[in-house]
Structures are given as C-alpha cells and as structure tokens.
Chain A
C-alpha cells in the first residue's frame, strides 16, 4: 500500500508538468494580457510596454516558460499582478473557504442522497421511486445560480431566517488561524460564532450540494438494485437475521463502492471552486478568485491556482482509490 502511494506520487509529477505547460500556453492564448487587464483597453502603449517589461512578458515565450518552471521547482508561485499578494498566501486564505463549503455541500449530498437512493431502490416502481426520480432530474437540471438565488430570496430575504451573504456576521470578530471558520470558532471556543458560521454555510451548501445529491441518489439506487439480487443477500436472509442488518451489512456495504467513486469525483469537482455559488453568496473562495484572475489576465494567479487545483484533483483521486481497499477487501494495491 505504501509503495503504491509512493508510485502514484511519482506518476503525478509528469502529469503536473503537463498541466503547467497547458495552463501556461492557455493563458497566453487568451486575447490581451495582464497589462491590458491592469490599464484598460485604451491604455497608453508605452505604459503597456513598461508593465510587460516589469513582468518579463516581453521575453520570448520559451524563455518565460523556462523561468516559470525554474520557479516551480523552487516551489515559488509568484505574486498576483492585480493584488500583489503572493499566490500561495491567497490560496491559504481562499482555499479553506472553498474546502469548508465543499465539505458542507458533500455532507448534505451524501446524508440525503444515500438514504434517498436506498429508499427508491427498496420501493422500486412505487410512487416513492418515481418521486425520487423526478426530484433527482430537477436537482440535476436546475441552474445552480437560479437555485442559489431562489434559496436566498426565500430563506434570507422573505423569511429572514438565514444570512444571505458572507461567511460570518460582520459584527462578530474571530481570529483565523486555519481560515476554516468552523474550526476557527471551535478553537476560539466561541459558540456564538460557530452557530453563526453554520448559519452562513447552510444555504450555499444546499445550493452547491443539490447536483451531487441527485447524482448520488441515482447511483445509490442502481447500486442497491444490483446488490439486492445477489446470492449472498439471499444467504443473509436465509440466516434469519434482522432485516435492517441485511440492509446495512450485506446490501449497503456492497453498494457503497460505486457510490464512493461518485462522491470522490464530485468532491474533486466542487473543490475546484464553485464560481456561481460563491458569487451569489459573496463567498471568498477559489472559484471567484480564479474567475477574477481570468478577467484581469492575472497570469501568476491562473498558473499557480490551476496547478494547485490539479494537485488537489490528483490527491482526491488517490484517496478515492485508497478508499476502495477500505470498503472491499478484494482490492489490494501493490
């Protein structure tokens, strides 16, 4: 297992170099550049030239790439051209916001999606099953910004139950050692802040978790239906053990394998940032950061940020693969 992990890390190196090259070329293929982003379209050509010289953008592309790779090897990611903050510290500040939102969204999606899928499978071809199918289709096809706005309108504006934007009430102060606000509040022992953070998390998590929820419910239903007709489920029933034990130990445990794949992939997807949800709820995460960087052609942020997301994706995939071995003893990694 350890050897397998080492090998996966080694295999990640060429992948990441490939990603770095693609991103490097892609940002330069975009029309305009950081100078225009900073100075606007009617900028003085001399000022544009000065900015380009300042960031070495007047050099030949291969030379720029050489310098970029050189700095990567030294683990330097440069600074944002627009904010002048180091890319790494921006990631350290913004990624926890995205991670926290992703965790909350996936928690919601799994906690609701798996039971819903099991229920639909056990009541297959009844109105429960049909209702869950229709619900899932709506969940998958509803535009996320629309759902986010709807939730905000109903629960924040009309009912006033929940806050509409941000991660924490402006009147509350909280030290941010981790930037995961839930953890920060717990570390500070501040229960009022903790409750407020949760209230802020609720609507964006539901908005972001709805699509994964629908997918997880459908996959769970299919997986449970596959397993339910297996011989070992009949064996379990022949033993005379309680029905809920048959469901949990024999059906659900075996059905979890495909479900865990989907959970992993969806988590990876959400971690790379949810531009729409973050925008609607003014959530300062990775998604809006990258989106702004694209608008301003902030090359260092794009290069560093996307490379970071690639690393993240590889890690999540590795974790998913390793989780197979936990769920299914037949899976062995060497």
Chain B
C-alpha cells in the first residue's frame, strides 16, 4: 500500500547541503507492521515526515524518488490535497507526548477538530466518537476527560491521547515515530501493546520508527535498519535477530545490555561516530567504523541492497562482506 522508491531528501543548512535520506526504498503491505531502526540522524524521522508531507520547508526538500500511497504519488502533490490525506489516510504519533499536544486546548477539542476536518460529523457525533476513542486507547472516565487539558494528564496518558487523535479518522497507514522513547519503561510496554492492538483490530498498516531494537522485536513483522540515510539491512524481524548480517546491525544488537550475562562486563558499543552527511563518502557509509571492511571496495563503492547469500529471499543486506548466516539455523 505504501511504496517508497529511491527517496532522497536534502536539508539546506548554513554549513551547506546535507542529504538526510539517500535513496531509500521501502514497501509496506496492507496490515503489515514494519520497523525502521537507526540512530539519531540516520534519516528515519525525515523519511516519516516526507511521507506526511511535513518536511520543515523551505529548509528540507524531497529532491528525488517517489512515495506512493495506494498507487497515488505523494511527492509533488499540492498542499491542499496532501492536507486532505493527512490525518485521514496517513496519521502520525510523535515522539514526545509532553510537547505534542496543544497546552491551551482541552484534549476533547483536539480530537474533535481532527474528526471534523475529515468526516462530516456534527458537534455531538464528533464528541461521541471522541469518547469512544479515548475509551479505546484506555483512558478511564473518557467522557469526563474530554475537558481535561494536557497538563492534567501523565506522559503515558498523553501518548494515549496522541494515538486516539492519530486513529480518529481510521487512517490506512499509521506512522509512529519513537512513540515510547520519552516514556518510563513500564509505560513503554503498555503503549506498544496499545499500538499493536490498534493496528490488529483496525486493520491498519504500521510504520514504527525507533532506535530501540527491543521495541521492534515486540511489534514488527519486518525490520529495516537505516544508517546515514540508507537502508542497510532488511529482513523479517525474526530472521534479523537470528542472523544479523550487516555489521552495523550486529553492533546494534551487541550493544543491548543483557540480563543473563555476567554483571561486570562493559557494555559493547560501536567504535567511532556516524559520518556527518556532509562528509561526502563514496563507498559504504559504515566503512570507517566497520570491523569487517574490505580494503578497497568498501571505501570506494556503495554496496547495493541485495539478497543475503544463504538466507531467505526476504533478507536483504547492503554489505560487501556480510556476516554469514549461521549454518545450523539457516534452514529455520
């Protein structure tokens, strides 16, 4: 339902032009849940904003590629048409619920205005629907809560309200950009559970953006790992965790602290820093930090995203020297 091909987004900054998204391809099937993983600056949020048509113009701009939603091209679509699609066909849950709701407007009104923007609800119908939505996302006493202001709710509750707003008009595609990053760990699990239940029950397609592989593991069927504006590995989530083959993915997985390991070990980290998008590397952007880089090729030539030898057809990696799939489990 969503097809992104060769997407390129540039930011014009005072220190020059920065390519934040550099040739991303992505295809989401109806009802699937897809993870987009990477560290800050890898281009994952910019990709999401490009889908929404909410890139901070005029600084940022799509300079190439296409984004099609149900076959309709969104790149270059006039703002008025994009606006009609935002909220009704594609909706987004943002990272920080503390700042993403209007502080001077009751939450009920913030839900109702979304409904009334897209559906021909009268005031009372919109209100009724807002109560249903708050009830669905698990806010106790929903009809009394309509008049509450954001500051009267906790962070978790606010994120529930954000989800209620996002799903108000039953969008086909829900984008969640780091929806749990700003929340306590216990609340994180609840919000993820709510997201999963929402897309399951309402048949939505989910694009989940996070830096946290643990979040992806619990929610997504498929996972894309992004690095420096490019997708470097793509696989069904289970396969990715079983056989991570891009050395960046492996590094990410190794940096997750384990409860069952020895207590005194130093947490693994990836050496070095991500390249600045302005560095202008020719080869693989991960080459400077890669433990398995090949001397000439990795520096000079960007590897294409291709099927990983010995793995399922769905497992793609952009690496000249990927880590091999473990033999004993390759058939699984």
| Chain A positions near chain B (C-beta within 8 angstroms) | 230-232, 234-243, 245, 249-250, 253-254, 327-330
- Choose, from B96-104, B190-198, B200-208, B210-218, the stretch at the interface: B96-104
A327 to B149, CA, bound (A): 13
The 8 Å CB contact of B88, one of A240, A243, A327, A328, is A240
Known: A239-B86, A242-B117, A253-B102. 12 other contacts (CB 8 A): A231-B96, A232-B103, A235-B100, A237-B54, A238-B52, A238-B86, A239-B165, A240-B118, A241-B113, A245-B117, A250-B105, A329-B149
- Say which residue of B87, B94, B100 sits within 8 Å of A241 (CB atoms): B87
Expressed in whole angstroms, the minimum distance between the Cβ of B194 and any Cβ of chain A is 18
How far, in Å, is A261 (CB) from chain B's closest CB?
16
B54 touches which one: A238, A241, A327, A330 (CB < 8 A)? A238
Q: Are B118 and A328 in contact (CB under 8 A)?
A: no
Contact A254 B104, beta carbon cutoff 8 Å? yes
* B162 CB contact (under 8 Å) in A235, A241, A243, A254: A235
Cα distance A249–B118 when bound, in Å? 17
Which 3 pairs show the lowest CB-CB distances between chains A and B?
A240-B87, A240-B86, A231-B99
Q: What distance in Å separates the Cβ of B210 from its nearest Cβ neighbour in chain A?
A: 18
CB<8 Å pairs between A and B, sample of 27: A230-B99, A231-B96, A231-B99, A231-B100, A234-B94, A235-B94, A235-B100, A237-B54, A237-B86, A238-B86, A238-B87, A239-B91, A239-B165, A240-B83, A240-B84, A240-B85, A240-B117, A241-B87, A241-B113, A241-B117, A242-B83, A249-B105, A250-B102, A253-B102, A328-B104, A329-B104, A330-B151
Judged by a CB distance under 8 angstroms, whether B245 is at the interface is no
In the docked arrangement, what's the CA distance between A235 and B151, Å? 16
CB distance A238 to B103 under 8 Å? no
Contact of B99 among A232, A243, A330 (CB under 8 A): A232
Query: Once the chains are docked, how many angstroms separate the CA of A218 from the CA of B138?
Result: 44
The docked-state distance in angstroms from the alpha carbon of A231 to that of B49 is: 13
How far does the alpha carbon of A232 sit from the alpha carbon of B161 in the complex, in Å?
Answer: 13
B residues less than 8 Å from A329 (CB atoms): 103-104, 149, 151
Q: Contact: A239 with B114, CB < 8 Å? A: yes
Please indicate the chain B residues that have their CB under 8 angstroms from the CB of A235 in the complex. Answer: 94, 100-102, 162, 165
How large, as a class, is the contact surface on chain B?
20 to 34
Does B92 lie at the interface of the complex (its beta carbon under 8 Å from any beta carbon of A)? Answer: yes
In the complex, the answer to whether A241 meets B104 with C-beta atoms within 8 Å is no
User: CB-CB contacts of B94-128 with A at 8 A, as 1s and 0s?
Assistant: 10100111111100000001100110000000000
Among A236, A243, A254, A327, residue most surrounded by chain B Cβ atoms (within 10 Å): A236
Q: Which residue of B lies closest to A251 (CB)?
A: B102
Residues of B contacting A230 in the complex (Cβ-Cβ under 8 angstroms): 99
- Complex Cα distance, B82 from A238, in Å, reads 10
* Nearest neighbor of B109 in chain A, beta-carbon distance: A249
Closest chain A residue, CB of each to CB of B118: A240
Q: Measured between alpha carbons, how far is A51 from B100 in the docked complex, in Å?
A: 71
Judged by DSSP, the binding face of A is helix
Q: Is B103 a contact of A254 with CB atoms below 8 Å?
A: yes
Q: List B contacts of A237 (CB < 8 A).
A: 54, 86
Hey, which chain A residues are within 8 Å of B99, CB to CB? 230-232
* B114 contact set on A, CB distance < 8 A: 239-241
A234 to B165, CA, bound (A): 13
Contact at A249–B94, with CB atoms within 8 Å?
Answer: no
Closest to B87 in A: A240
Contacts of A236 in B (CB 8 A): 102
Which residues of B29-73 are within 8 A (CB) of A? 52, 54
Q: With A235-B94, A245-B113 as given contacts, are A254 and B102 in contact (CB-CB < 8 Å)?
A: yes
Given known contacts A238-B92, A240-B88, A253 and B113 CB-to-CB distance under 8 angstroms: no
- Of B92, B100, B151, chain A has the most CB atoms within 10 Å of the CB of B100
Residues of A within 8 A of B162 (CB): 235
A253 — which chain B residues lie within 8 A by C-beta?
102, 104-105
- Residues in A whose Cβ lies below 8 Å from that of B101: 232, 235
Which A residues are in CB contact (< 8 Å) with B84? 240
Cβ contact within 8 Å between B87 and A231: no
Beta-carbon contact of B85 and A330 below 8 Å = no
Whole-angstrom CA separation of A245 from B91 in the bound complex: 18
A236 to B86, CA, bound (A): 10
Chain B residue, CB-CB nearest to A235: B100
Q: What is the bound-complex CA distance between A241 and B118, given in angstroms?
A: 8
In the bound complex, do residue A328 and residue B103 qualify as a contact, i.e. CB atoms below 8 Å apart? yes
A330 and B100 contacting across the interface, CB-CB below 8 Å: no
**Closest CB in chain B relative to A322 CB, distance in Å:** 16
A47 to B202 CA separation, bound complex (whole angstroms): 97
Residues of B within 8 A of A239 (CB): 86-87, 91, 113-114, 117, 165
Chain B minimum-CB-distance residue to A242: B117
CB contacts (< 8 Å) of B91 on chain A: these are 238-239
In the assembled complex, the CB of B200 is this many whole angstroms from the nearest CB of chain A, namely 23
| Chain B residue with Cβ nearest A243 | B83
How far, in whole Å, are A234 and B117 apart by their CA atoms in the complex? 16
Interchain nearest-CB distance for A224 vs B (Å):
15
CA A327 – CA B94 in complex, angstroms?
25
The docked-state distance in angstroms from the alpha carbon of A328 to that of B149 is 10
Q: Please name all residues of chain A whose beta carbon is closer than 8 Å to the beta carbon of B105 when the two chains form the complex.
A: 249-250, 253
Residues of A within 8 A of B117 (CB): 239-242, 245
A255, chain B: closest CB distance, angstroms: 10
Neighbouring A residues of B165 by C-beta, 8 Å? 235, 239
Given contacts A231-B96, A238-B54, A241-B117, contact A249 B85 (CB under 8 A): no
